[in-house]
Structure 1
Amino acid sequence: MSSFVVALDVGGTSMKGGLVTRSGEIIRTDRRVTPRDRGPAAVIATIRSFIDDLAAAGGGTPEGVGLAVPGLVTAEAALYSANIGWRDVPATDLVPLDVPVMLGHDVRTGGLAESVLGAGRELSDFLFLPIGTGIAGATILHGEPYGGSAGWGGEIGHIPVFPEGEPCACGQIGCLETYASASAVARRYSARATAASPPSTSVSASSTTSPVATVPPVSVLIPFPVPVPAPVTAEQVAALTASGDPLAMEIWGDAVEALSLALATYTLLLDPSAIVLGGGLAEAGTLLSDPLAERLQKRLTFRDAPPLRQAALGMSAGMLGAALLGWRAAGFTDAGTTWSLDVLKSSRVP
């Protein structure tokens, strides 16, 4: 049996795990629900159990463990996560095995994977921008993710792009995430479509010509034939945009405008060689990238905009980045440099 590491990408909804060999072969993948509704202790217990089960499936002791987790993170501890609720959890508390372990921030770990293995493989400096339920960025400098002085670097989703706009859950007004995340696109379309639907009307029974005067007025609801739209997904909004639906095109246009404003600011500050788009919204392909590239270039009037690239690793980026952390924890700092992208993409996380 080849030596391997356990790699785990812990999200607010689910955990994606795998066993990855020194040569980059993914020999097992699995997924489990993150029980955050039961509290941080239950999440930690599930992580430990998941790691145990993965290691047992590998038929031996792993060389190391790498974990990608949300929130404020160092290599040795998960300091804080609003999504999960934990505070100051040492990495060793998450791993039931006596092996080297390394933690990484979930988005920055995905950026590391794209840097070493994926769309940024030959780039020194770029922005990894996964656009999913929320928006966070990973600044890659000299091939490595940069978290800032205290680990808060990369929160591009909370750049205010429309100062007089909609409130954000973070407490600010008009944040990028409020307009351009997948959840925001779906929410804004559903809200506008619902508001535009004609409401039900009522007709009072007292207005009829019935000669019986003893019957009190009764309101009878007569709905219009057009029902109130059900909530839609961002994928459906993208499809409606492509088909020419006016409301979808407006909501999609707001998202593109918000992204162009934030990315213009980022570009002027850090001059990335490329912007790598990932996450669910980026799956729209040129429907997103073409208008975004055009608007970004119009904002950068005196210089060329950085090229936009599609992320190469998809939903596997976090787990593969965790595998790199696991091998680094085991002392192999050059892990991934010879791994085949074709092999990695053939073993998708379920």
Structure 2
Amino acid sequence: MHTTPLTADLVRGALDLERTEHGLLPHRLPARARAQCADPQLHLAESQPSGVRLVFRTRAGTVELDTLPTKRVYVGAPPRPDGVYDLLVDGRPAGSASVTGGNTLTIDMAAGTAEQRPGPVGTVRFTGLPATVKDVEIWLPHNETTELVALRTDAPVEPVPDRGRRVWLHHGSSISHGSDAASPTTTWPALAASLGGVELINLGLGGSALLDPFTARTLRDTPADLISVKLGINLVNTDLMRLRAFGPAVHGFLDTVREGRPDTPLLVVSPILCPIHEDTPGPCAPDFGALSSGRLRFRATGDPAERAHGKLTLGVIRDELARIARQRAAEDPHLYYLDGRDLYGEADSAELPLPDDLHPDAATHRRIGERFAALAFAPGGPFADRAV
């Protein structure tokens, strides 16, 4: 077996690669951004490699990847399945597998504590690949921090040249991150990117789409042909700010992006339907009654009457985002707006309700991804390929 050094030219979708004692840890925010926020939730989310994949060209029939995952355990909740590694060969699905072992992060939501215990490196192995020259992609688990330790193949490996596809840079919440999707290639942004024929950089950050200036600077400084920002739900469920601060913060966030990408198509997307927060402010909290019976659910704890005092709900946020988008589009011909309910709305909620009242399941991820592709990438859409 050939052992190939794990280098940046084999990794797509990461914005930083940290050398660790075990190997290479992909990050989705650069080091300077990470240094500006001490929030453990942000650091956990950005280290989970949603949209990150190894890409290489080889004749190999067998591929082995050693990794050190960090698996989450929630006290009182059902066990989480192991993270999934998706294999693509020449762009087509060719297998999925998981890695056992790894570190364990035990989170007690009631106590607000987290404890990490070290564990062993594991191996994901794919066999029976065609013995011809092919492009291989291994998509890392979207919801499991993954250190890359070693890559082995039974034939030499080389980087894949730039395929000339447009780069789509997307920022959003845990829904964009891929929470409760079945696998890394079936998160809604990954599905939409595949349908749109673009290269994805996914800055969906679970719990952390909070209009942070360092995230705006990351979007500004990352080369991309298309940019989208899906804003709102985390601001409600963290109860982070009031309406007075929200509007100027959105303007400031978009101004920063435009400093570096003044003419790039920029799509502002409001939240999908989430019944618990449509008219009820946050904060959002686990439903400990459901947790005691082995189910993970969430509930809104605010008072709808507090909207009069500037508390944010999804309805308030959609109105404000639409207003801001109209205002900016009058001077910015490359800025567009999409109501998130066009991706998942009332009828969808009746057919495919959010299982934990906050996050979509696998079927809903597929629906959202297909609808986003149809609305954004199709002819006439904001991300349509003007060269075609």
**TM score, norm. by length of structure 2:** 0.31
More strand by share: 2
Bigger radius of gyration: 1
More helix by share: 1
